[in-house]
Structure 1
Amino acid sequence: MSSQLRIGPGVPVEKEATTGISIDRLRTIIQDSHLNFLIGAGTSAPFFEPLGDVEKALTALRTADEETRLARASVQGYFFHKVLVPNAKLLNARTDAGAQSLIKTYARFMAVLNRVLLRRRSTLLGKQVNLFTTNVDMASEVALELLEIDTNDGFSGKIRPRLDLGEYSTLRYRQGGRFEYRSEIPTVNLFKIHGSAAWRGEGDDIYFDHQLKLVQGVQAAYEAARPSLIRITRPAQVDAVRLRRRAAGKVRSDEVKDFVKAYSRLQIVNPEKTKFASTVLNKTYYELLRRFANELEKENSALFVHGFSFRDEHLLDLVTRAAATNPTLQVIVFCYDRDSYKEIKQLFPMERVKNGNILFVRPAEPEKGEDERKLSLGTVVEDFLEQVLIEKTPSPDHIIELKLDSAAGDLASV
């Protein structure tokens, strides 16, 4: 069976030979579907560097001997330094060119989603978009805050926002003062499947730590332990066998033990087979997965995927099963380059996706002497999402610039 995109039940549409989808077809899907996005680590590149196979290393380094524990703590330190610590730059993006570039890209993406919701023709669909992400960084939150887009991140309360997943069932309306008409407010529902740098656990609850005080505390412990950890400077060094060898004859210092204890308080899903730092995070993770699955089961839903390799077996299985059981679901996977297209596509064998409703959008073959136009988030926004808007509006870049200059530096001190 050839791969096809189904705009509606029983209406197959052949995919394009180059990138995989036309703007007209993309516009139809966006206008007539329940909108869901799944973004992964590739979406936040290159600000967050490739890490190597951290999951494989941490999973292998689970034995109780001292040398293995030191090697494991070193990988955790490497992951923390590369993924959690840079979030402080996102809160103060005007001081860092890389952070500023990432926030601009995310803000442009969020602005397009907001305009799409505002201009929806269908009155049968709510003005909501679900943004699921496995990223623990705060790029989405900062971009949404800068553009003042209504966001539902599952937290309730102002002084000490507490995670309450029931908040995702809330609809927001604006009512006219004189005639009492109501209109739904376009809202981005943000689901942080793997937790967040800004989550802080207290007892059975998770609170929003907007100043990243927990990360700051862990960073202090990390800096104290750093001289005793095995030095990891590049992805190729994230290898369990080599790290055990480098740890031979060494024991963990008290500073390393303190860092491991502090690291365990982070409310993030660890990149390993045994993922959870706490019971409450475990429950939250599976509840968010259930909500993700429920959204994919809705009739005429669409899932757009970017920056996600589908190495997470839970999410791969959920997407595959949903595509097989819900023929009205459209899954559109934006592949960064032609190599990633080949790697991802083989995870979806034809016998498991019989409805032909998973479409892979990839860069076109470059002309001789030209470079491949890789599908970064900025490229996807420019080449695809901005093109679906019926009425073109000026790019919000100038607005984002002003917001970054006037507000981004203040986010870290709120």
Structure 2
Amino acid sequence: MGTSVDGISPDRLRIIVQDSHLNFLIGAGTPSAFFGLLGNVEDTLTEVAESNADDDVKAVVRASIQAYFFDSVLMPNVKVVNRHADAEEVLTSYARFLRTINRILLKRHSSILAKQANVFTTNVDMVFEVAFEQMAIDFSDGFSGKIRPRFDLGDFNTIRLRMASRFEQRSEVPVFNLVKIHGSAGWLQEKRSAEKTEIVFDHGLSLVVETQTALDSARGDLIAIDDSKEVDAAALIARASSGAVPPTVTAFTEAYEKLGIVNPDKQKFATTVLHETYYELIRRFANELEKENSVLFVHGFSFRDEHLRDVVVRAARSNPTLQVIVFSYSRGDLADYQKLIPETDVKNSNVLFLLPPEPEDGEDERVAKLDVVTTDYFAPIVADKFPVPDQRIELDIRLASEEGTRV
């Protein structure tokens, strides 16, 4: 297991970010207040696939779990992209975080390191993209082109310079590489020929909306899942009706499988292009952690994803100059991390778990939400403190009742 501490000084953190290649790993726990957590969905889908149930029963149960996943994780992105008032809190939280890291990069004095940060995320939501655009922060998400942007790995790691209009002075501007390892609600798989499928950017989330329409037609033929309980594969199979798969369920499944996301199960990949893209992005993640003097900040990620956990642990073992700093959401989460990353796997003592402070008498348990991480750890690094009026992030969130009103 790594070292666990209650905090890290701003001076120590300042030295790390000044002299290191910056990487962030963001998991489902970060935006969970808006999207919710899915618990054991991956295990349940795997159990269904490996069960002895009839294929038609499996198809209905699998589609029911996919509908549950779609409602919780994919459909809310329409509100995010439209900057609906319901998404204000999560967008504002991400915007504060990105603005703070952007200012850290801007003020970084190193002449060797590029003013870049890599944001790796297993989340398929669109919160990062919307927050980046609203804050006018430069980022690369792997897509090139304007009218029909196509996914191209060569778009990452591009240095951007700004030239003054009068004196032609050039200055490097901070750039974030947004690497979405499990795909995105905004990715659309487009078949160009029998042999070639491309990933294009779906600006209006048209495929998500299309899938929602198919799901609404299929709900009567699917098994409703209570989001307050663990998803039970055996119970769902027992509730499924025998007989041929209803056409509405087939139509929903076909629409769902066009989405450019890695499925939350052991099979994961609906198409070859997603399989290849996933492993290319995993390789990019591993390469960044192997660089000398790199740091990986982790938030909202449980390390239950064995592929990514293996990459992090292997890099921590082989690269003693790598520092992995995990922001534990609660003090109770430490035991889970210690089970997944045992002491024997980390020989360089370069995995650090930062715990929230102990609660005072009568206080609720303290948790490390993204706002807390931004305020308590990263904001103090920036020498010039933000004045109070600047604390308000204007995201032009649209209210449901008053289109275009700022909040």
Partner secondary structure for residue 33 of structure 2: coil
1:113 corresponds to: 101
Asked if the contact 1:111/1:396 (under 8 Å) is kept, the reply is no
Partner secondary structure for residue 196 of structure 1: strand
The reply to whether residue 225 of structure 1 matches residue 225 of structure 2 is: no
Of 117-126 and 343-352, deviating more is 343-352
Amino acid at match of 2:32: A
Provide the C-alpha distance between the structure 2 equivalents of 1:396 and 1:152, rounded to a whole number of angstroms.
30
Provide the C-alpha distance between the structure 1 equivalents of 2:239 and 2:176, rounded to a whole number of angstroms.
47
Partner secondary structure for residue 258 of structure 1: helix
Provide the C-alpha distance between the structure 1 equivalents of 2:146 and 2:85, rounded to a whole number of angstroms.
28
- The CA deviation string for residues 46-78 of structure 1, in whole angstroms up to 9 with x for no partner, is 101122310011111125522222111110111
Asked if the contact 1:108/1:397 (under 8 Å) is kept, the reply is no
Provide the C-alpha distance between the structure 2 equivalents of 1:24 and 1:102, rounded to a whole number of angstroms.
29
Partner secondary structure for residue 383 of structure 1: helix
Report 1:139-150 matches (<5 A): 139-150=127-138
2:194 corresponds to: none
Asked if the contact 1:53/1:235 (under 8 Å) is kept, the reply is no
Residues 258/80 of structure 1: CA separation in 2 closer, same or farther (3 Å cut) = same
1:71 corresponds to: 61
Q: TM-score normalized by structure 1?
A: 0.91
The reply to whether residue 86 of structure 1 matches residue 76 of structure 2 is: yes
The reply to whether residue 24 of structure 1 matches residue 14 of structure 2 is: no
Asked if the contact 2:29/2:300 (under 8 Å) is kept, the reply is yes
Report 1:51-66 matches (<5 A): 51-62=38-49, 65-66=55-56
Residues 192/402 of structure 1: CA separation in 2 closer, same or farther (3 Å cut) = closer
Shift of 1:348: 1.5
Shift of 1:31: 1.3
Asked if the contact 2:139/2:175 (under 8 Å) is kept, the reply is yes
Shift of 1:382: 1.2
Asked if the contact 1:91/1:409 (under 8 Å) is kept, the reply is no
Amino acid at match of 1:145: E
Identity of aligned residues (%): 54
- The CA deviation string for residues 184-223 of structure 1, in whole angstroms up to 9 with x for no partner, is 1111110010000000111221111010001111111100
Asked if the contact 1:363/1:375 (under 8 Å) is kept, the reply is yes
Partner secondary structure for residue 46 of structure 1: helix
1:191 corresponds to: 179
The reply to whether residue 100 of structure 1 matches residue 93 of structure 2 is: no
Asked if the contact 2:2/2:353 (under 8 Å) is kept, the reply is no
Amino acid at match of 1:240: A
Report 1:339-358 matches (<5 A): 339-358=332-351
Provide the C-alpha distance between the structure 1 equivalents of 2:395 and 2:7, rounded to a whole number of angstroms.
36
Partner secondary structure for residue 397 of structure 2: helix
1:370 corresponds to: 363
2:114 corresponds to: 126
2:275 corresponds to: 282
Q: TM-score normalized by structure 2?
A: 0.92
- Structure 1 residue runs of 4+, over 6 Å off? none
Report 1:296-311 matches (<5 A): 296-311=289-304
C-alpha RMSD of the superposition: 1.9
Provide the C-alpha distance between the structure 1 equivalents of 2:382 and 2:162, rounded to a whole number of angstroms.
24
Residues 198/351 of structure 1: CA separation in 2 closer, same or farther (3 Å cut) = same
Count of residue correspondences: 394
Asked if the contact 1:130/1:190 (under 8 Å) is kept, the reply is yes
- List alignment gaps of at least 5 residues for structure 1: 5-14
1:41 corresponds to: 28
Asked if the contact 1:199/1:207 (under 8 Å) is kept, the reply is yes
Residues 29/316 of structure 1: CA separation in 2 closer, same or farther (3 Å cut) = same
Asked if the contact 2:2/2:341 (under 8 Å) is kept, the reply is no
Partner secondary structure for residue 202 of structure 1: strand
- The CA deviation string for residues 84-141 of structure 1, in whole angstroms up to 9 with x for no partner, is 0000111223432xx1100000000110111011110211111001000000000000
